[in-house]
Amino acid sequence: MRFLAETVDICVIGAGHAGIEAALAAARLGKRTALLTLNLDTVGNMPCNPCIGGTAKGQLVREIDALGGEMGKAADETTLQFRMLGRGKGPALHSPRVQSDRRAYQASMKGRLERQPGLLLRQGEAVEILTEEGAVCGVALRTGAVFACRAVVVACGTYLKGRVFLGDVNYESGPDGLFPANALSQSLSALGVQLRRFKTGTPARVLRSSLDFSKMQVQPGDPEPTTLSFETTDPRPNREVCYLTYTNSETHRIIRENLHRSPLYGGDIVGIGPRYCPSIEDKVVRFAEKEAHQIFVEPTGADTDEMYVQGMSSSLPEDVQLAMLRTLPGFENVHMMRTAYAIEYDCCDPLDLLPSLEFKQLRGLYGAGQFNGTSGYEEAAAQGLIAGINAARALDGKDPVILPRSSSYIGTLIDDLVTKGTDEPYRMMTSRSEYRLLLRQDNADARLTPLGYELGLISEERYLSFQEKQRAIADEVRRLRKTSVPASEGLNALLVSIGSSPLQNGIRLAELLRRPHLGYADLAPYDVTRPALPREVWEEAEILIKYEGYLSRQERQAEEARRLENRPLPEDTDYESILGLRLEARQKLQRIRPATVGQAARISGVSPADISVLLIWLEQRKRGGHA
């Protein structure tokens, strides 16, 4: 028997990384919000590696933070180790990463949810999304409790009809041995949501004391950490180190001889797995010429001896897993505490979503996270934040927030999903953005904090601090452009040592900075007027000077793209009736229904000639008196 438990504005289903950001954003925008989760003890769970950030993902987290999200703050608060990846490359590839304490992160996030005004955190299994007149009107729990609402964000991760695979053993399960959500899949299908099967996996956890770290390479944290949140002013010290070891020919032999026992190769697993994060057996088969694969050994918490074996995701039987682990240097006497496993789950086709992350066919229903076909905590949190913002804005009759690709990795992620779709779990990478030099981790606040403030997710105090930082950067750029230093014996010796030509006369600091292999810190002894500045200020000024030409060129490209993004396509466009469009283009445009000409141009199967036809059609429509 069903009964009305609560009346709220927005229900969020799932309290993983997507659900947390969605619920917090909606509540902070003044909407009474219910966050429903299968188990309150797994709020913010990290069933895979307890790290936040990394290549491209660190950029996402800093963007989430710049908009007012929580992931970066919680990661900084619970860090075991800070590390900037890509230091040896250009600034576009610098990616901050935090190894977090898994349980402390969960507790931190749960506390933030519990303390948020207007947010109800509730344990219970959502079994049905209720609708009325083509719009959502509530969520029913297995207990019969009904949460009446006007919008629903589905952020249920890998729980939908979850099935775990371990050799020839498979059973219904969510991640970490939790029970799956089967009834909700049936409800979504009944509402017309097209569901697909994807697969992901996680490596084993092993006992620290059973490892010999003397046979591994130490991976220390950065002495001067770059935090994930712009608001973290006093970062915690690195408390742990990580380690690096490698597979070898014996590891690969064991895997090859047992491929017939792998559900991945035996046909039991039908879900599509992530290409860019394959299982160890998949790596050995696909990259047969490689003699070794990197394996990172990482702590999962300060108060546990469990270590995470990154790079050894597998669905092989337990006995095979133990045998192959014991071939790794330092793992000869390993005790495996948790086996690796693969998990299949239902997810939607993101082509059924609008750029706002609302479903096209059902008003008020939004998707976020792995439910939308992505993989990774950071991708999930980014979508959750945008879904929560847009659900709240829709209830206020406001236009959705749609971030262009040129503004952010978040914009790139969502545009890829809703425009191109995905046939495998989508993972953000720097190569996915054509504007990656503009979308660096260091300037995420400059790009997005004004929007976060306008939306109401950034406080007045934080916004004033942000403005002060931007003024300091601009002042230092001006000073570097105006200030000259004389030629000197010491400076010329420095220039010759890096293979640069010595000076005959004075030179402006900005011109010196543009020379390869010469950095801001190198010039300190010769820059007598240099003010004392925070590292984040002078590093940003250095990048703006050193890469000025490249940045200007990419900004021109972005401006050209914005021209097409500013050409909206009417919602009621009948692409089948537009003469000159090729058949494939008509079908794709009719299915995806792009919001702008720019989005249409990124659809696979729509050619430049088709875009020319659309532009001509728009012009003719305008002359004919249509808006």
Lowest mean pLDDT among 8-12, 68-72, 274-278, 417-421: 274-278
Give the separation between CA 319 and CA 484, rounded to whole angstroms. Answer: 68
DSSP 613: H
Whether the pLDDT of residue 627 is over 60: the answer is no
Q: Which residue has the higher pLDDT, 264 or 124?
A: 124
Tell me the sheet residues that pair with 272. 198
pLDDT at 185: 96
351-370 mean pLDDT: 97
Per-residue pLDDT reduced to its tens digit, 381-408: 999 999 999 999 999 999 999 999 999 9
Q: What percent of the chain has pLDDT over 70?
A: 99
DSSP assignment string, 379-391: HHHHHHHHHHHHH
- CATH number of this structure's domain 460-554: 1.10.10.1800
Tell me the pTM: 0.95
pLDDT at 563: 86
Per-residue pLDDT reduced to its tens digit, 504-557: 999 999 999 999 999 999 999 999 999 999 999 999 999 999 999 999 999 999
CA-nearest of 310, 401, 324 to 355 is 401
Whether the pLDDT of residue 135 is over 60: the answer is yes
CB atoms within 10 A of CB 23: 31
pLDDT at 271: 78
What are the extents of the domains in the chain?
A: 3-199+345-455, 205-344, 460-554, 567-623
Pair 411, 403: CB distance under 8 Å: yes
Per-residue pLDDT reduced to its tens digit, 259-271: 999 887 777 777 7
Whether the pLDDT of residue 371 is over 80: the answer is yes
pLDDT at 14: 98
CA-nearest of 159, 148, 257, 247 to 200 is 159
CA-nearest of 21, 29, 27 to 8 is 27
Helix (H) / strand (E) containing 119? strand 119-123
CA-nearest of 495, 520, 502 to 510 is 520
Tell me the sheet residues that pair with 348. 195
Confidence of residue 275 (pLDDT cuts 50, 70, 90): confident
Dihedral of CA atoms 379, 384, 390, 392 in degrees, nearest 10, equals: -170
Tell me the Cα Rg of the chain.
Answer: 26
81-100 mean pLDDT: 94
Give the separation between CA 91 and CA 539, rounded to whole angstroms. Answer: 10
pLDDT at 564: 85
Per-residue pLDDT reduced to its tens digit, 550-587: 999 999 999 988 888 889 999 889 999 998 999 999 99
CA-nearest of 104, 424, 391 to 272 is 424
Per-residue pLDDT reduced to its tens digit, 207-230: 999 999 999 999 999 999 999 999
Kindly list the distances between the CA atom of residue 199 and the CA atoms of 168, 372, 566, 615, in Å, as whole numbers in the listed order.
16, 13, 37, 40
Give the separation between CA 33 and CA 39, rounded to whole angstroms. Answer: 18
- What six digits make up the tokens of 171? 């059973």
Q: Alpha carbon 181 to chain centroid distance?
A: 24
Q: So what CATH class is 205-344?
A: mainly beta
Confidence of residue 625 (pLDDT cuts 50, 70, 90): low
Tokens 């057996």 correspond to 281
Pair 25, 393: CB distance under 8 Å: no
Whether the pLDDT of residue 15 is over 80: the answer is yes
Q: What percent of the chain has pLDDT over 90?
A: 88
Diameter over CA atoms, the chain: 89
Q: So what CATH class is 567-623?
A: mainly alpha
DSSP 440: -
pLDDT at 622: 80
pLDDT at 252: 97
pLDDT at 626: 58
Whether the pLDDT of residue 619 is over 90: the answer is no
pLDDT at 78: 97
pLDDT at 624: 73
In residues, how long is the chain?
A: 627
Name the CATH code of domain 3-199+345-455 (choices 3.40.50.720, 3.40.50.40, 3.80.10.10, 3.50.50.60).
3.50.50.60
Pair 385, 67: CB distance under 8 Å: yes
107-114 mean pLDDT: 98
Kindly list the distances between the CA atom of residue 508 and the CA atoms of 152, 171, 540, 550, 553, in Å, as whole numbers in the listed order.
57, 68, 18, 20, 23
Average pLDDT over all residues of the chain: 94
Query: Where are the extended beta strands (E) located within 189-258?
Result: 195-202, 205-207, 217-219, 242-246
> Residue 433 phi/psi, 5° resolution?
-100, 130
- What six digits make up the tokens of 60? 């996402």
